[in-house]
Structure 1
Amino acid sequence: MVKAKSNYDTVMEYAKSIVEGRKVACKEQIQGCQRFLNDLKNPAYDFRTEEAEFVINIIENTFVHQQGQKLDGSPLRGEPFLLEPFHKFQVYNLLGFYHKGTKIRRFKEAFIFIPRKNIKTSFAAALAWALGLLERKSGSKVYIVAAALKQSLESFNFINFNLEQMGEKENFRVIDNNQEHSIKGEIGDGSLFIQALAANPDRQDSLNCNIAIADEIHAYKTPKQYNIIKEAMKAYTNKLMIGITTAGDDMNSFCYQRLEYCQKILDGTITTPEAEAYFVFICKADEDENGIVDYTNPKVHEMANPAYGVSIRPDDIMNDALQAQNDPQQRKDFLAKSLNIYTAALKAYFNLDEFRRSDHQYHWSLEALAKLPIKWYGGADLSKLHDLTAAALYGRYEVEKGKEVDIAITHAFFPVVAAVTKADEDHIPLFGWQNDGVLTMSNTPTVHYDDVVNWFKSMKNMGFNIKLVGFDKKFGREFFLMMKRSGFKIVDQPQYFYRKSEGFRRIEAKAKEGQFYYLHNQAFEYCVQNVQAIEKTDDMIQYEKVDGDGGKSRIDLFDAAVFGAVQMLEDLSKSGTATTWLYGKKEA
């Protein structure tokens, strides 16, 4: 039964106005509000407002602003910290739903994804304080964690400031020095402990908490920085792990993968028990089918920024958008920080959305491809057998007159001995790729040539007509000979950039034209977005990893596909057909 309380009406109006289209919102916000309204009718849950009201009232009646100005220029310092409707919506979701007939809350984890300057860090601090008071009878331990201690101290200092404003600081033990930043106190029937931390997994194995706020998780270098805090909650039933962040520019990061996972929760693709226990609040600009954002449109600014017209000044954000039109670096930052659009690193050559858009037009399985009348050309990148290794088949198929699709079948190999370490340190989703069937784990410290040869054999046995394979034999003469002994025609393909340029340009052009298919292989996508390229004379191109030879990114599967494309093009030029297929166009 819902108590007659003004915040309930505010939250319901917020959700309904978005679902009904009366308030400008992005796709994910509409989905999130619809999820909330659906959940209210779900018989699996009880909806109770008491705890949500407690938290909202604690914040609004005890916290004040530390700094800032209103839109009219009047100072905010000392003014009551009043929550916006989108804040109250989040609190109602996090604390309102219980498993039917129990004291067990539904949501154990949350992902709050909003652009900067949308009253994010101060809300995180106030929420940490109020949640700590709410759970005081359980002996609340609250951690505020960020990649850098300086960021988590933003929230800690805001709480500390408000303790002084309340006149309550003498009732708490506050440690604020180079060694520790914490607040501890006994509160009537319970206790409260709040600590600001840097996300350093090597020093946090003994942590124990029931509430944690992970701030700016786009800056986390490894998933372990997040997971070590999440693991610290196992002793509690009503635990709550909240990740709050703005977009970044690393599309291989933990945060970006978490964003994609949460988007799948909202669109109903993932419906596991873990997904049901995950609250998702995403505010970002909508993108069209080509991944383009209308970033000078004020409606787009409003849909991405829930505090538009409150802390986000419409004139200022429009001015930033117009400046971004003429400056690529500024545009990248504007999209990421003001519109919450993940952007590839500026050095990355390809637009991954072009590849995905092309790939999603086609849905052949391996079995179906094996039956098509296609000549396949192989490529392999075995330069570092202790690391990611790749093999590929490349072919072309005329789906209709005048439309020819290039197909890249790529497969990765990795030594199982190093897999756990590399997956954690370099944030490569190796085990996910293994589950998808696009990676083979070698049971040895290095990838065995046998594993790669056996992959080519398995493809041949499936029915693939493999005409020849290109490989630079200075990186593995043993592999070269093994392939020959296994009946494959393998040719030496030195890795000269002027030879690889042709294959690179072929893939680039076919992806742009929507005529490139890579079987939805996420490992291939990972490699594509790590490619950095330099234009040379005569349309030649030289490419490498975005972070250089010593970096953590990988491009091996893309490299293997390029080798296969080069062999296909060179074989076509030797075939005497009087045509060369280059850049996706037929030339006499």
Structure 2
Amino acid sequence: MDLSEAKNLDVVMEYAKSIVEGRKIAGRELVQACRRFLRDLKKPEYDFRTKDAEFVIGIIERTFVHDKGEALDGTPLRGKPFLLEPWQKFIIYNLLGFFKAGTEERRYKEAFIFIPRKNGKTRLVAALAWALALLSRRSGATIYITAHALKQSKQAFEFILFNIKRMGEEESFRILNNNQEHSITGEMGDGSIYIEALAANPDRQDSLNCNIAIADELHAYTKPKQYNIIKEAMKAFTNKLMIGITTAGDDMSSFCYQRLQYCKKILDGTAPDEAYFVFIAKADQDERGNVDYTEPVQHEKANPNYGVTIRPEDILNDALQAQNDPQQRKDFLAKSLNIYTSAMLAYFDIHEFRASDREHKWTLKELTSLPIIWYGGADMAKMHDLTAAALYGEYQDIAVVITHAWFPIVAAAAKADEDGIPLFGWQDDGWLTMTNTPVTNHAEVVNWFVEMRRSGFKIKQIGFDRKFSAEFFRDAKNAGFRLIDEPQFFWRKSQGFRRIEQKAKSGKLYYLHSEAYEYCVQNVRGVEKTDDMIQYEKVDEKKRIDLFDASVFACVRFIEDTDKGKSTNEWLKGGE
């Protein structure tokens, strides 16, 4: 370990140790990140060098000043040195300190920085872009600052411009800042730099080539391709670095949320990824997703700048307002405590479903041995979209939902990109089958029910809307299934909806940990009607609820059949 002139190393080490030892308040994921750092310092496969990290910290603190803001005591900050906090130095030391042993190749190629609003995120993005450009100038540094909206990436760009002008170096660079381009170009003698602010446009592919990119506000990205197209632009460089930095959002089916879950697995050690740096600052949640949001300890856990740019009394006041005004609560949880919430229109709390599902562990084989009568449901696509099937049964008051989906492979790539549906991930996990036809192949859905019956599931009835598929009705009937027409009337579907809802809330719903089913549940928007009935639909046209819909059809069959007083034991023995 090279410790020469490492004046910030003590700050970084104390930051990490104080969190691991519990002397400094931090959330679960931040404790894991600090443990990872201290553990990796001892790994022989890495050299730890301080030179580049010290260079970047020095550049930022010596050349950048604040353009706006006030200290906690009200002192104006404009023109005051932009001094980095220990957590920011910790991030920089991680990104630039680890090298593959005996080489000049840095360990980290990608980073995920997850911090709440008002923790200086945008200013940090700008300062990092400037300093990293100077650090990698000999490689002809090309830095992109991207965001879903150009307005957001321009905020960081304008902060860099403010400091260049303050330094009196405006004439040393070619600066374009107009409706067409927002860029800074400079020749440095021993190298060059280029910094550009961009909107994350997946259609701009061919012209992109960079070694470092900072993707801001990842939660607003509507397509994975907005991120991936920038990442792909780095392939010509060895010491490339893709930094995603964001606050929580309200779409749990989004690219950002899925990336958050992956990064949590990295910290847990269940998804090893040695090239990915993860810094997650958020409040701690219980197993049902709840957080004590009025507790100052949780405020401090979530906000690394607590007591610096985050005023304790202000965030406590916001928490009390969120407690008294439910309309404010989701925004407070997402933006101040970094807790992902369901969309405002979403009916279900997905944490209730997940908590219930975690209580049960049956495998498919184990379920076939239980004395359960199963009821099927099918939601058939009209042409080339998601088709879903489900089985519903109950055992000792526990509702079990088994689902599967199909999608025509010729349309899968386009839909996965356009609508942000993780179809290929579902395929890898076994929740979905890609059909080799341009439109939905209803025979494959029938075959799934046949295979489930052959493996031991006693399927008594299948409910589906007959007008969408005469072929499915014919083939399923020929296969020996009893088909019940389930028209799409909300007053019929309400009973299935309510039963699934009640089972989830009471911890008695099990859906075999299907992420595809969770995705659909999160996209359900419910409208309360008279007599406790509910009418539901998709929260957004680009979302899908088909697997949930199929489970509702199956549940309706269960309710209506068992309410008629038919004997379960008689049917299991082969009678009607």
Tell me if the contact between 1:413 and 1:439 (Cα under 8 Å) persists in the aligned partners.
yes
Q: 1:101 Cα deviation (Å)?
A: 0.7
Q: Which residue of 2 aligns with 1:509?
A: 502
Tell me if the contact between 1:365 and 1:519 (Cα under 8 Å) persists in the aligned partners.
yes
SS at match of 2:33: helix
Q: Which residue of 2 aligns with 1:394?
A: 392
Q: Is 1:470 equivalent to 2:460 in the alignment? A: no
Letter of the 1:270 partner, please give it.
A
Letter of the 1:336 partner, please give it.
A
Structure-1 separation of matches of 2:204 and 2:325: 41
Q: Which residue of 1 aligns with 2:518?
A: 525
Q: Which residue of 2 aligns with 1:85?
A: 86
Q: 1:576 Cα deviation (Å)?
A: 4.8
SS at match of 2:17: helix
Deviating above 3 A after TM superposition, structure 1's stretches of 4 or more consecutive aligned residues are none
Structure-2 separation of matches of 1:84 and 1:184: 29
Q: Is 1:38 equivalent to 2:39 in the alignment? A: yes
Q: Is 1:15 equivalent to 2:5 in the alignment? A: no
SS at match of 2:392: strand
Q: 1:4 Cα deviation (Å)?
A: 4.9
Q: 1:577 Cα deviation (Å)?
A: 6.3
Q: 1:569 Cα deviation (Å)?
A: 1.0
Structure-2 separation of matches of 1:95 and 1:159: 21
Q: Which residue of 1 aligns with 2:563?
A: 573
Q: Which residue of 2 aligns with 1:583?
A: none
Q: Which residue of 2 aligns with 1:250?
A: 251
Q: Structure 1 residue aligned with 2:453, among 456, 460, 480?
A: 460
Tell me if the contact between 1:215 and 1:243 (Cα under 8 Å) persists in the aligned partners.
yes
Q: Structure 1 residue aligned with 2:547, among 527, 545, 557?
A: 557
Q: Structure 2 residue aligned with 1:434, among 427, 432, 450?
A: 427
Letter of the 1:567 partner, please give it.
R
Tell me if the contact between 1:385 and 1:448 (Cα under 8 Å) persists in the aligned partners.
no
Q: 1:131 Cα deviation (Å)?
A: 0.5
Structure-2 separation of matches of 1:112 and 1:247: 11
Q: Is 1:497 equivalent to 2:490 in the alignment? A: yes
Tell me if the contact between 2:381 and 2:440 (Cα under 8 Å) persists in the aligned partners.
no
- CA distances 1:539-569 after superposition (whole Å, capped 9, x unpaired): 111111112xxx0011100010011111111
Matches within 5 A, 1:343-358: 343-358=341-356
Q: Which residue of 2 aligns with 1:146?
A: 147
Q: Which residue of 2 aligns with 1:585?
A: none
Q: Structure 2 residue aligned with 1:414, among 401, 407, 410?
A: 407
Segments of structure 2 that go 5 or more residues without pairing to the other structure are 569-576
Q: Which residue of 1 aligns with 2:316?
A: 318
Q: 1:363 Cα deviation (Å)?
A: 1.3
Q: Is 1:546 equivalent to 2:539 in the alignment? A: yes
Structure-2 separation of matches of 1:438 and 1:318: 43
Q: 1:383 Cα deviation (Å)?
A: 4.0
Identity value in percent: 69
SS at match of 1:202: coil
Letter of the 1:234 partner, please give it.
K
Letter of the 2:451 partner, please give it.
S
SS at match of 2:324: coil
Structure-1 separation of matches of 2:368 and 2:432: 19
TM-score (norm: length of structure 1) = 0.95
SS at match of 1:159: helix
Q: 1:347 Cα deviation (Å)?
A: 1.0
Q: Which residue of 2 aligns with 1:401?
A: none
Q: Which residue of 2 aligns with 1:582?
A: none
Structure-2 separation of matches of 1:296 and 1:33: 26
Structure-2 separation of matches of 1:564 and 1:282: 40
Q: Structure 2 residue aligned with 1:361, among 342, 359, 373?
A: 359
Letter of the 1:6 partner, please give it.
K
Q: Which residue of 2 aligns with 1:186?
A: 187
Structure-1 separation of matches of 2:190 and 2:507: 64
Q: 1:3 Cα deviation (Å)?
A: 2.3
Structure-2 separation of matches of 1:70 and 1:468: 68
Letter of the 2:518 partner, please give it.
E
Structure-1 separation of matches of 2:204 and 2:230: 11
Q: Which residue of 1 aligns with 2:287?
A: 289
Letter of the 2:528 partner, please give it.
E
Q: Which residue of 2 aligns with 1:586?
A: none
Q: 1:291 Cα deviation (Å)?
A: 1.1
Letter of the 2:356 partner, please give it.
S
Q: 1:6 Cα deviation (Å)?
A: 2.5
Letter of the 2:320 partner, please give it.
L
Q: Is 1:447 equivalent to 2:440 in the alignment? A: yes
- CA distances 1:345-391 after superposition (whole Å, capped 9, x unpaired): 01111110111111111111112212222110000001433111100
- CA distances 1:294-334 after superposition (whole Å, capped 9, x unpaired): 11111111110000000001111111111111222211111
Q: Which residue of 2 aligns with 1:99?
A: 100
- CA distances 1:383-407 after superposition (whole Å, capped 9, x unpaired): 4331111001111112xxxxx2110
User: Aligned-residue CA RMSD in angstroms?
Assistant: 1.1
- CA distances 1:24-54 after superposition (whole Å, capped 9, x unpaired): 1000000000000000011110100000000
Q: 1:79 Cα deviation (Å)?
A: 0.4
Q: Which residue of 2 aligns with 1:330?
A: 328
Matches within 5 A, 1:211-226: 211-226=212-227
Tell me if the contact between 2:303 and 2:337 (Cα under 8 Å) persists in the aligned partners.
yes
Letter of the 1:406 partner, please give it.
A
Structure-2 separation of matches of 1:130 and 1:367: 57
Q: Which residue of 1 aligns with 2:263?
A: 262
Structure-2 separation of matches of 1:469 and 1:497: 18
Q: 1:290 Cα deviation (Å)?
A: 1.9
Structure-1 separation of matches of 2:487 and 2:152: 48
Structure-2 separation of matches of 1:413 and 1:266: 33
Structure-2 separation of matches of 1:50 and 1:383: 59
Q: 1:513 Cα deviation (Å)?
A: 0.9
When the two structures are aligned, how many residues end up with a matched partner? Answer: 567
Tell me if the contact between 1:389 and 1:413 (Cα under 8 Å) persists in the aligned partners.
yes
Structure-2 separation of matches of 1:70 and 1:288: 34
SS at match of 2:287: coil
Letter of the 1:301 partner, please give it.
H
Q: Which residue of 2 aligns with 1:375?
A: 373
Tell me if the contact between 2:212 and 2:242 (Cα under 8 Å) persists in the aligned partners.
yes
Letter of the 1:373 partner, please give it.
P
Tell me if the contact between 1:205 and 1:228 (Cα under 8 Å) persists in the aligned partners.
no
Structure-2 separation of matches of 1:154 and 1:16: 34
Tell me if the contact between 2:375 and 2:554 (Cα under 8 Å) persists in the aligned partners.
yes
Matches within 5 A, 1:112-261: 112-261=113-262
SS at match of 1:6: coil
Letter of the 2:357 partner, please give it.
D
Structure-2 separation of matches of 1:158 and 1:573: 67
Structure-1 separation of matches of 2:153 and 2:123: 11
SS at match of 2:222: coil
Matches within 5 A, 1:57-68: 57-68=58-69
Segments of structure 1 that go 5 or more residues without pairing to the other structure are 399-403, 579-588
SS at match of 2:354: helix
Letter of the 2:247 partner, please give it.
T
Q: Is 1:483 equivalent to 2:476 in the alignment? A: yes
* Higher mean C-alpha deviation, range 525-534 or range 490-499: 490-499
Letter of the 1:476 partner, please give it.
S
Structure-1 separation of matches of 2:201 and 2:51: 36
